[in-house]
């Protein structure tokens, strides 16, 4: 597995570019919707950049591990405000399979949205849906700054063995994952109590 590890600064630059694209295309959303969890932070930044006053969320569950998803995503929490007759921008961090965005669009149409466009930072070529706005295309596993411990935990849970785990973490660091942060989080995780599932 290969990794992309964007920095906060790179993410902000990508979102500035997307906001400019939206302006150039004369798309001015009434509402920005963050898909919880991954889309929450990019959506909040776009709310600021686009100067949109209404920011709402919806929660869709799809991932169960690194490069592992459920067959179909599940709508866990519907949108938190009405969108009837409004232009809506749906934001997630990545279009991996595209199924999450497709479910979000279907939900918003059911709720009466007038126009729906999608925005992600990354897009994978295997996605069934190409976002209206995205900045980078990759086939790698993308590790965002808001999911550092989660990524390390999922690598640990793969039971790769110590040597293979160290190789994966070395690849992560080479891709841009802060080495000191990885060491700090792994040390903390080592101190956590181990639970025996058989008891």
List the CATH number of the domain containing 39.
3.40.50.2020
CB atoms within 10 A of CB 52: 17
Q: How many domains does the chain have?
A: 2
Identify whether 26 is part of a domain. Answer: yes
Rounded to two decimals, what is the model's pTM?
Answer: 0.85
Same domain, 43 and 96: yes
**Looking at the domain assignment, is residue 128 inside a domain?**
yes
pLDDT bucket at 147, cuts 50 / 70 / 90 = very high
Q: Is residue 198 part of a domain?
A: no
pLDDT reading at 64 higher than 60? no
Identify whether 194 is part of a domain.
no
Asked whether residue 47 falls in the same domain as residue 77, the answer is: yes
Residues 86 and 179 in one domain: no
- Asked if residue 109 and residue 159 are part of one domain, the reply reads no
Give the pLDDT confidence score for residue 102 in this predicted structure.
93
On whether both 162 and 90 belong to a single domain, the answer is no
Instruction: Give domain status of residue 45, yes or no.
Output: yes
CA–chain centroid gap for 195, Å, is 30
pLDDT class of 91 with cuts at 50, 70, 90: very high
pLDDT average, residue stretch 100-128: 95
70-74, 152-156, 184-188: the lowest-pLDDT one: 70-74
**26-46 tens-digit pLDDT:** 999 999 999 998 999 999 999
Residues 108 and 175 occupy one common structural domain: no
pLDDT number for residue 111: 93
Q: What is the pLDDT of residues 65-82, one digit of tens each?
A: 555 555 677 888 878 889
SS (H, E, C) 137-182: ECCCEECCHHHHHHHHHHHHHCCCCHHHHHHHHHHHHHCCCCHHHH
Q: Does the pLDDT value for residue 194 go beyond 90? A: no
Residue 197 confidence (pLDDT) above 60: no
Closest to 30 in 3D by CA, of 81, 86, 82: 86
- List, in order, residues 6 or more apart from 16 with CB less than 8 Å away: 49
Mean pLDDT for all residues in the chain: 89
Question: Phi and psi dihedrals of 184, rounded to 5?
Answer: -65, -50
Residues 106 and 153 in one domain: no
Contact 62, 4 (CB under 8 A): no
Residue 147 near residue 134 (C-beta atoms within 8 A): no
* Sequence-distant contacts of 124-128: CB under 8 A, at least 24 apart: 124/94, 124/95, 124/96, 124/97, 126/96, 126/97, 127/95, 127/96, 127/97, 127/98, 128/97, 128/98, 128/99, 128/102
The domain in which residue 158 lies consists of: 147-189
pLDDT score for 94:
95
Q: What local confidence, expressed as pLDDT, does residue 65 receive? A: 52
Are residues 83 and 160 located together in one domain of the fold?
no
Q: How far apart are CA 104 and CA 16, in angstroms?
A: 23
């Amino acid at each position: 597995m290969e990794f992309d590890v964007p920095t906060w600064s790179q993410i902000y630059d990508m979102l500035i570019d997307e906001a400019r694209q939206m302006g150039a295309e004369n798309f001015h959303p009434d509402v920005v919707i963050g898909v919880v969890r991954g889309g929450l932070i990019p959506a909040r930044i776009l709310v600021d950049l686009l100067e949109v006053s209404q920011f709402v969320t919806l929660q869709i569950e799809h991932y169960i591990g690194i490069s592992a998803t459920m067959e179909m995503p599940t709508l866990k929490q519907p949108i938190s405000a009405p969108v009837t007759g409004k232009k809506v921008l749906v934001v997630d961090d990545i279009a991996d399979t595209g199924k999450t965005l497709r479910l979000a669009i279907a939900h918003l149409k059911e709720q009466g949205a007038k126009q729906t466009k999608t925005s992600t930072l990354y897009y994978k070529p295997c996605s069934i849906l190409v976002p209206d706005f995205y900045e980078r295309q990759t086939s790698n596993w993308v590790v965002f700054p808001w999911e550092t411990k989660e990524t390390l935990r999922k690598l640990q849970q793969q039971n790769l063995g110590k040597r293979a785990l160290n190789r994966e973490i070395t690849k992560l660091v080479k891709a841009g994952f802060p080495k000191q942060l990885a060491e700090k989080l792994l040390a903390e995780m080592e101190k956590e109590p181990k639970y025996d599932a058989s008891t």
